[in-house]
């Protein structure tokens, strides 16, 4: 009886196909309804009978991707591209799938066939970010928490007990079983020992009540939907949000929120502990694209109109599964730069800082539904185990790791000097800039460069002659014996590098060629980037363009700029980028075994000093204004 409705869809699907000489139209309807298994079966039969068009093959690939058969999806994306005159959208879809699979080099190759430069660059940013994140140390141990052979998702905690959704069978009383007789879909469950049991009792135990959230004043909000498949891709189609009172496991005063409309999907509600703020996801009109996050507040007995959380959080992609813990909003997105599919992000509700990717937890697959107990215990849903589609995982930071993290090494002074009568400058001899805008850990991943020139150290060139190509990448200097080699880079794939090489040769460098090296900060120096010389100051900076200190205690001799030295570490992993990335451009310098982090982008001393004060207040007590004098960092010494 529990499959009657599914049987009805099967009957209708086959009946339509029997009466319809064009089963492809039936398949497309099934696809649009989200009945992916039926649609796939119809398409496969049609392909066997007479073949499919390029568009139909593309839809088959999309179905396979949404239902977790990634390898077969790749095959059908290739089939589709071979039959379509303009296959750019197919190559982009395949590239996104490859990123999700962690096949970053293949993804970059697929992107070479995409003409949409904006979309291509956005996905390349994901690839670069993912490769960098893959080489970073992990501080969390991740384990399966609830794992069955059917999808489990959306865990929350109520009085210390897990409450989650499952498509799997439950152990239940006859009364609870009767409540869901003849229904299909997922259940809201909890655990009793090794058994999964209904969370709601008796007649309140209805299927397809999902992604529930509970306040301390007895309110519960939840999504209601009638999914036509067991896949996340169709679960929230035409979903609505309801609110009710919960007493001893029984729902009462259940109401549909006024925001619900036919054809609109409102889902993944999260109510704050005081019951006064409701966050949720929706595909309503007027958003930034896909599904956006909204909030409503409860005042004077009613809920306010929804307010979009804005472009800092919402993107042209999809945002969903919001959750508040302390002063942080956690959510899921496939629109922000990440590791592949959906990633989990956080952002301060106080408006400080920017969106932060939880790279220690995220994977190239879909990571969703965060539930944060504390900094050291985070539950989430992931399909990184494709066989089960979705399982619930827990990320735990051990007490030892917590202790180490809490006692990160303080910033140290690399140079000291004797006190003098007046402020003067002291050079940080041997420090070299190695990156700007990104951070490099001690990874030795192989990267690619384009060699532009080579000359003897005794015949040093002006690197500004290479400024015309910084639009393609940074200019690095490598000293190899008596020679200085000038290289453009770095790039993550050989194919990307060779594509840029073609443009470089046309720009007046016919002898340029590709080289590869292990990424090693002890061998490289960043001498020129697109940020140098014409970088706007961060917001709030003054308008003066002076590059001299008012005290005039040094002779600049060359173009100088004011910067803020933040901290120096033996291991760059300790640097917390998100604390200060809104104050200026982050530069990474290297000296011996030490890594120095510096803020740049200031037009004068006053701007740099203002940023220094903010940096001190954000956890960098040793921050100081320094001067970059033609690639040499000079500290300002005081008596």
Q: Judge if 587 and 528 occupy the same domain.
A: yes
**Residue 218 in domain:** yes
CATH of the domain at 57: 1.25.40.10
Q: Do residue 235 and residue 108 come from a single domain?
A: no
CATH code (residue 148): 2.120.10
Same domain, 155 and 122: no
Q: What number of helices (H) and strands (E) belong to the chain?
A: 13, 33
Strands (E), 248-338: 250-256, 266-271, 277-282, 292-299, 302-303, 307-308, 319-325, 328-333
Domain membership flag for residue 416 = no
Whether residue 497 is predicted with pLDDT greater than 80 in this model: the reply is yes
Where in the sequence is the domain holding 10, given as residue range(s)? 4-134
Question: Residue 458's pLDDT is what?
Answer: 64
Regarding whether 274 and 183 lie in a shared domain, the answer is yes
* Same domain as 351, residue 272: yes
Look at residues 134, 168, 187 and tell me which one is the last residue of a structural domain. Answer: 134
Q: What is the pLDDT of residues 129-147, one digit of tens each?
A: 787 777 667 789 999 998 7
What share of the chain has pLDDT > 90, as a percent?
A: 32
210 and 241 assigned to the same domain: yes
Same domain, 295 and 150: yes
Dist CA 38 CA 20 (whole Å): 15
pLDDT computed for residue 85 by the predictor: 87
For residue 483 the two structure tokens come to 């020679």
Instruction: State the alpha helices, DSSP H only, in 199-341.
Output: 232-235
Taking only Cα atoms into account, the Rg of the chain, rounded to an integer number of angstroms, comes to: 29
Is the C-alpha dihedral spanning 497, 498, 504, 508 positive or negative?
A: positive
Is residue 313 domain-resident?
Answer: yes
Asked if omega into 490 is within 30° of 0 (cis), the reply is: yes
Among the residue ranges 168-177, 425-434, 446-455, the one predicted with the least confidence is 425-434
358 and 451 in a single domain? The answer is no
Task: For residues 560 and 445, state if they share a domain.
Answer: yes
Q: Are 104 and 492 in contact (CB under 8 A)?
A: yes
- Is the per-residue pLDDT at 4 higher than 80? no
296 & 440 share domain: no
Instruction: Check whether residue 126 and residue 146 sit in a common domain.
Output: no
Please report whether residue 415 resides in a domain: no
| Number of compact structural domains in the chain | 3
Say if 87 falls within a structural domain: yes
Beta bridge partners of 436: 587
The encoded tokens of residue 162 equal: 């897990």
The pLDDT tens digits for 246-300 are: 887 788 899 999 999 988 999 999 999 999 999 999 998 889 989 999 999 999 8
- Could you tell me which residues are beta bridge partners of residue 152? 166
For 57-116, what is each residue's pLDDT tens digit?
999 999 999 888 999 999 999 999 999 988 899 999 999 999 988 888 888 888 888 888
Q: Name the domain boundary from 349, 378, 406.
A: 406
| 145 shares a domain with 130 | no
| pLDDT value at 7 more than 80 | no
């Amino acid at each position: 009886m529990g499959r009657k409705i599914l049987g009805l869809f099967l009957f209708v699907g086959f009946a339509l196909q029997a009466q319809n000489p064009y089963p492809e139209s039936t398949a497309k309807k099934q696809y649009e309804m989200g009945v992916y298994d039926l649609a796939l079966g119809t398409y496969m039969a049609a392909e066997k009978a007479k073949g499919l068009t390029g568009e139909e093959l593309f839809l088959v690939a999309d179905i396979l991707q949404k239902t977790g058969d990634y390898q077969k999806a790749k095959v059908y994306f290739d089939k589709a591209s071979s039959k379509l005159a303009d296959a750019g959208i197919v190559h982009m879809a395949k590239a996104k799938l490859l990123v999700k699979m962690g096949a970053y080099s293949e993804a970059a190759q697929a992107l070479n066939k995409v003409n949409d430069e904006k979309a291509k660059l956005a996905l390349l940013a994901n690839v670069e970010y993912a490769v960098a994140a893959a080489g970073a140390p992990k501080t969390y141990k991740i384990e399966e928490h609830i794992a069955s052979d059917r999808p489990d998702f959306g865990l929350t905690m109520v009085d210390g007990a897990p409450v989650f959704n499952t498509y799997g069978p439950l152990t239940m009383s006859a009364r609870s079983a009767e409540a869901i007789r003849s229904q299909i879909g997922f259940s809201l469950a909890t655990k009793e020992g090794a058994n999964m049991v209904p969370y709601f009792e008796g007649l309140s135990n209805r299927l397809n009540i999902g992604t529930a959230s509970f306040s301390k004043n007895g309110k519960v909000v939840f999504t209601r939907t009638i999914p036509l498949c067991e896949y996340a891709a169709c679960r929230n189609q035409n979903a609505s949000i309801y609110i009710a009172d919960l007493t001893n496991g029984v729902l009462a005063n259940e109401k549909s929120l006024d925001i619900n409309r036919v054809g609109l999907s409102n889902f993944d509600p999260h109510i704050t502990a005081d019951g006064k703020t409701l966050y949720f996801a929706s595909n309503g009109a007027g958003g930034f694209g896909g599904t956006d996050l909204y909030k409503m507040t409860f005042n004077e007995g009613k809920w306010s109109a929804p307010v979009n959380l804005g472009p800092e959080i919402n993107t042209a992609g999809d945002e969903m599964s919001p959750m508040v813990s302390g002063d942080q909003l956690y959510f899921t997105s496939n629109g922000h730069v990440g590791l592949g599919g959906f990633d989990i992000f956080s952002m301060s509700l106080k408006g400080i800082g920017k969106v932060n990717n939880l790279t220690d937890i995220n994977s190239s697959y879909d990571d969703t539904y965060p539930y944060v107990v504390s900094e050291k215990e985070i539950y989430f849903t992931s399909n990184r185990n494709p066989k089960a589609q979705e399982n619930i995982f827990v990320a735990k930071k051990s007490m030892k790791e917590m202790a180490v993290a809490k006692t990160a090494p303080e910033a140290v002074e690399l140079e000291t000097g004797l006190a003098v009568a007046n402020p003067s400058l002291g050079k940080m001899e041997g420090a070299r800039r190695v990156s700007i805008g990104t951070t490099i850990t001690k990874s030795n991943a192989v990267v690619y460069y384009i060699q532009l020139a080579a000359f003897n150290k005794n015949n040093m060139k002006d690197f500004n002659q290479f400024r015309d190509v910084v639009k393609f990448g940074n200019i690095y200097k490598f000293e190899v014996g008596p020679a200085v080699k000038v290289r453009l880079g770095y790039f993550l794939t050989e194919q990307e590098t060779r594509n840029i090489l073609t443009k470089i040769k046309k720009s007046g460098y016919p002898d340029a060629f590709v080289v590869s090296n292990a990424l090693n900060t002890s061998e490289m120096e960043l001498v020129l980037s697109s940020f140098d010389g014409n970088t706007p100051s961060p917001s709030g900076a003054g308008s003066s363009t002076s590059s001299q200190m008012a005290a005039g205690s040094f002779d600049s001799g060359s173009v100088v700029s004011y910067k803020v030295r933040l901290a120096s570490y033996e291991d760059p992993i300790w640097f917390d980028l998100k604390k200060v990335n809104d104050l200026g451009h982050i530069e990474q310098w290297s000296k011996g075994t030490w890594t120095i982090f510096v803020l740049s982008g200031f037009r004068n001393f006053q701007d740099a000093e203002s940023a220094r004060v903010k940096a001190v207040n954000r956890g960098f007590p040793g921050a100081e204004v320094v001067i970059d004098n033609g690639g040499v960092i000079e500290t300002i010494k005081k008596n």
